Chains A and B, each alone.
Chain A
Amino acid sequence: MFIKVQSATNLGLDTIGVDIELNISNKGLPGFEIVGLAGKSVGESKERVRTAIANSGMEFPQKRIIVNLAPADFPKEGSFYDLPIAIGILSSILEFKIPEKSLFFGELSLDGTLRHTRGALLLALFAREKGFRNIFVPKQSSNEAAIISGIKVFPLQTLQELVSNLLGKIKIMPAKYEQKRCPGNGFSEFDMAEILGQEQAKRAVEIAASGGHNIFMVGSPGSGKTMLARAVPGILPYLDEKESLEVTKVYSASGNIPPDGSIITICPFRSPHHTISQIGLVGGGSNPSPGEISLAHRGVLFLDEFPEFPRSIMEALRQPIEDGVLTIARSRARVKYPARFMLIASANPCPCGYLYHPKKACVCSEREIKKYKKRISGPILDRIDLHVEVPVVEADAFSEDEKKRPREFSSAVKQRVLLAREIQRERFLNENIFINAEMKNKHIKKYCLISKQARQILNQAIASFNLSARSYFKMIKIARTIADLSKTEIIGANHIAEALQYRSKFYET
C-alpha cells in the first residue's frame, strides 16, 4: 500500500516542499525504516511516532513500513516530520483519505499531543505561494501561521483529534489570527523621562532613531549610556506589515517565537554580551542558524562595552552593516539572512573610564589609552554615522528642583520620530530604501538639497577636520535627518552645523 503525505522543510528562510512517501507491505518482517537522508532528529521520530500512536489508543500496524522523504538527496533535520509520518501510517489502518492540497507539520509528544514546532509561519507562506489550501499544525504554533490569509490553518491538539477529523467524526475550525504581546521583545525598559540630564545625547539618539543611523556613545561609567540605548525601542515606530513578516520569519525559523505567539510588531532589541562568539553574532553552524544581527533585523543591535568585543567579531559586522543581508555559506547549506539593524555601541573613553571627567582623575597612561582605543576597528567607526559623548551627570541634576523640572517622555519623542519617518517614507516611495541611513551617494545627490551657506560650512569643515569622503556623505545624511525632524525641505546651515558635532572624535585625544 502506497501513501503520500505532503510537508515542507525550512532551510534558512527558504522553504522546500518534502513529500513523505510511505510503503506499507504485508510481506516481510514487521519493521519501520526511514530513508531519504534523515538526520538524527528525523531518525528518532520513529520512536516518537510508534509510541504516540500506541498512547493515542490506536494500534501500530505489525507490517513492514518504509518511509521515504523525497527529494531524497538533501539532508533532513527537524522534528516536524512526526505528524506526516504518523498520519500516513494511520491512514493505512483506519482507511481515511488524506486531504488533497494539504501540508502536515508538527512534532509529536509521546502521549500523542502535538508540541509547538518552529517554522510554522514559513510553512504557511510556502503553502500560499504554492497553492496549498490547508495546513495542519500544532495548536501552539497555529497563531503565527494564521496571519497568512488565503489558506486554512487547522490547529491540532492531539493526534487522536486529527484522526477523528479525517474520519469525519469531528470538525476542527480553522485558526483565526489573534495579536498577542510577545514577551521578551516587548516595550522598552526605560522611558526617556527617567534619564537625568544628557540633553545632547538624547537629541542624538532621537536623530539616530529618526533616520535609522548607527550611533556610538562614549562616556564614563554610570553616565547613562546603557539606559539611553535601552530607551531607544520606546521611541522607534512599530513595524509595518511587511517588516513584521520579515522579522517574524527570522524568529520563526530559529524557534524564537514562544508557544501561542503572534507575529512581532515591535522593533526587536538585542543586546548580546561581549563574550558572544562570532557564530552567535552573525549566524552559522552546519545548518546555518541566524545570529544576533539577524535577530535584530529592523530593530536595534546594542553592543555595550564595545571595545571588549573581540576584534574578529567587530570586523564581521562590516559587511552586514553595509549590505543589510548576510549570506552564510557552509558545506551543507548556503543561507541568506536579512540583517538591517540600527547599531548602538557604547564605550568608555579609557580603560579606567574617567578620562575627560570633570572631577575624577584618570589613572591611565597615554599608552594604555591608545591601546584601548585601538581595540575598536577604525573601519567600523567610519561606518557609524553619529558619535556622541555622554558626559557625567552634574551634581545639581540630582537636586529636588531639577528633578521636578518637566522632562520629555518617550511618547513625545516618538511622535517626532514618526513624523520624520513619514517624510522619509514619502521621499523614498519610488526607491528601494526606507530610511535616510540607507541612502547611497546617488540618493544623496537626488534628495539632499543643501543651501549655499550650509555648503560653505561643510567645505570649511572638510578642510579643517580632515574629513574623509565617506564622512562627508555621512554628514549630509545626518543633516538630512535633522532637517526632516524640523520638517525642512532644504538642508540649512544650522542642520549641517549640528551634524558636524556628531563626527567621530574617538581617535582625537
Chain B
Amino acid sequence: MKHNKTLGRVGEDMATEYLQNKGYKIVEQNFQNKWGEIDLVCEKDNRLVFVEVKTRIGEQFGLPEDAINKNKINKLIKNSQAYMVYKANKINNIYMYRIDAVCIVLDEEMNLKRINLYENITM
C-alpha cells in the first residue's frame, strides 16, 4: 500500500513538470473531499482542467489507460463538480472545464518510459 502511494507521488510530480512545460498552470494538487481525490487541478487557456494521473511500472500488468474506466470517469466528473462548488468564489472568471488524463509508464528503476496526455477524456 505504501509502495503504491509513493509511486503515485512520483508519477504526480512527473506529470506536474510535464504539464507545466506544456503551458498548464497548476492551481491545486491532491484536492480531497469525502468522495475522493483529484490529482491535479490546472488552468489552461482560461479553462479549468482536472487531471487524473495514472502511473504503472511496466506494461505487463495492464496499461494505465485501461485503468481509467467508466466508473473512474464518472467519479472524476462528480469530484470536479464538487471542487467547483467549493471554490465557486475563486473561479468565477473561469466558466468552462474539462478532464484530462496523464498516463505514465516507468521501468523497474523508476525511470520514465513513456508519458502520454489525453485531453478531454469525457468526450
Q: Is the CB of B121 within 8 A of A28?
A: yes
Q: How far is the CB of B27 from chain A (nearest CB, A)?
A: 22
Also in contact, A62 and B123, with CB within 8 A (given A28-B118, A29-B101, A29-B118): no
Q: How far is the CB of B66 from chain A (nearest CB, A)?
A: 9
The A-contacting residues of B in range 79-123, CB under 8 angstroms, are 101, 116, 118-123
**A455 at interface, CB cutoff 8 A:** no
> Roughly how many angstroms separate A25 CA and B101 CA in the complex, as a whole number?
15
Residues in chain A near residue B116, CB distance under 8 A: 62
> Roughly how many angstroms separate A30 CA and B68 CA in the complex, as a whole number?
10
> Roughly how many angstroms separate A29 CA and B100 CA in the complex, as a whole number?
8
Q: How far is the CB of B117 from chain A (nearest CB, A)?
A: 10
Beta-carbon nearest neighbor of B99 in chain A: A29
**A425 at interface, CB cutoff 8 A:** no
**B65 at interface, CB cutoff 8 A:** yes
Residues in chain A near residue B123, CB distance under 8 A: 25, 27-28, 64
Give the interface centre of B73, B118, B119 by most chain A CB atoms within 10 Å: B118
Q: Is the CB of A62 within 8 A of B65?
A: yes
> Roughly how many angstroms separate A29 CA and B67 CA in the complex, as a whole number?
11
Residues in chain A near residue B121, CB distance under 8 A: 28-29
Residues in chain B near residue A64, CB distance under 8 A: 123
The B-contacting residues of A in range 16-68, CB under 8 angstroms, are 25, 27-30, 62, 64
The B-contacting residues of A in range 186-240, CB under 8 angstroms, are none
Beta-carbon nearest neighbor of A64 in chain B: B123
Q: For the complex, would chain B's binding face be called helix, strand, loop or mixed by DSSP majority?
A: loop
Q: Is the CB of A28 within 8 A of B65?
A: no
Q: How far is the CB of A416 from chain B (nearest CB, A)?
A: 72
Q: How far is the CB of B101 from chain A (nearest CB, A)?
A: 6
Residues in chain A near residue B65, CB distance under 8 A: 29-30, 62
The A-contacting residues of B in range 56-86, CB under 8 angstroms, are 65, 68, 73
Residues in chain B near residue A30, CB distance under 8 A: 65, 118
Give the interface centre of A25, A27, A64 by most chain B CB atoms within 10 Å: A27
Residues in chain A near residue B73, CB distance under 8 A: 29
Beta-carbon nearest neighbor of A25 in chain B: B123
Q: How far is the CB of A113 from chain B (nearest CB, A)?
A: 27
> Roughly how many angstroms separate A66 CA and B11 CA in the complex, as a whole number?
30
> Roughly how many angstroms separate A29 CA and B121 CA in the complex, as a whole number?
5
> Roughly how many angstroms separate A64 CA and B121 CA in the complex, as a whole number?
9
Residues in chain B near residue A25, CB distance under 8 A: 123
Residues in chain B near residue A28, CB distance under 8 A: 118-123
Residues in chain A near residue B68, CB distance under 8 A: 29
Q: Mark B10-45, 1 if CB is under 8 A from A, else 0.
A: 000000000000000000000000000000000000
Q: How far is the CB of B25 from chain A (nearest CB, A)?
A: 21
Beta-carbon nearest neighbor of B119 in chain A: A27
Give the interface centre of B68, B73, B101, B123 by most chain A CB atoms within 10 Å: B123
Residues in chain A near residue B101, CB distance under 8 A: 29
> Roughly how many angstroms separate A27 CA and B121 CA in the complex, as a whole number?
7
> Roughly how many angstroms separate A64 CA and B123 CA in the complex, as a whole number?
10
> Roughly how many angstroms separate A25 CA and B73 CA in the complex, as a whole number?
19
> Roughly how many angstroms separate A454 CA and B123 CA in the complex, as a whole number?
85
- List 17 additional A-B contacts (Cβ < 8 Å) besides A27-B120, A29-B101, A62-B65: A25-B123, A27-B118, A27-B119, A27-B123, A28-B118, A28-B119, A28-B120, A28-B121, A28-B123, A29-B65, A29-B68, A29-B73, A29-B118, A30-B65, A30-B118, A62-B116, A64-B123
22 contacts between A and B (CB under 8 A): A25-B123, A27-B118, A27-B119, A27-B120, A27-B123, A28-B118, A28-B119, A28-B120, A28-B121, A28-B122, A28-B123, A29-B65, A29-B68, A29-B73, A29-B101, A29-B118, A29-B121, A30-B65, A30-B118, A62-B65, A62-B116, A64-B123
The 8 A-B residue pairs whose C-beta atoms are closest, nearest first, are: A29-B121, A28-B123, A27-B119, A29-B118, A27-B120, A30-B65, A28-B121, A28-B120
